[in-house]
Amino acid sequence: MKTIYVGNLPFSSTQNDISDLFSRYGTVHSVNLISDRETGRPRGFGFVEMDPEQAQAAIDALNGSDLGGRSLRVNEARGREDRGGGGGGRGSNSSYRRYE
């Protein structure tokens, strides 16, 4: 199974819309559209699970394609640990001391 990241989705997109779009390239095992935890509003991205060969065909065909006037970003999803970046915060930096 391969997980595909789908970004820049129209906020009106439904799981059925995305499933229908990707099913042109093979069997869609799951669709997960991400919503804001506090407001419940769509965040404009989600994940689709497909078999590897079919997933690659969908990525190749759909990356940059138009859906609802938006250019989709479609690629293989990376795990949280692979995304890089990092937090801000001071953490446990022992050289930082707060004086009052």
pTM of this prediction?
0.79
Q: Specify the higher pLDDT residue, 100 or 85.
A: 85
Token representation of residue 78 = 């990376």
* pLDDT at site 86: 56
**Per-residue pLDDT tens over the stretch 27-52:** 999 999 999 999 999 999 999 999 99
Neighbouring C-alpha atoms within 13 Å toward the C-beta of 50: 27
- CATH T-level assignment (fold) for domain 2-78: Alpha-Beta Plaits (3.30.70)
Give the Å distances, CA to CA, from 32 to 12, 18, 64, 95.
14, 9, 20, 43
* pLDDT at site 88: 55
* pLDDT at site 100: 42
Mapping DSSP onto H, E and C, the string for 22-40 reads HHHHCCEEEEEEEECCCCC
| Per-domain residue ranges of the chain | 2-78
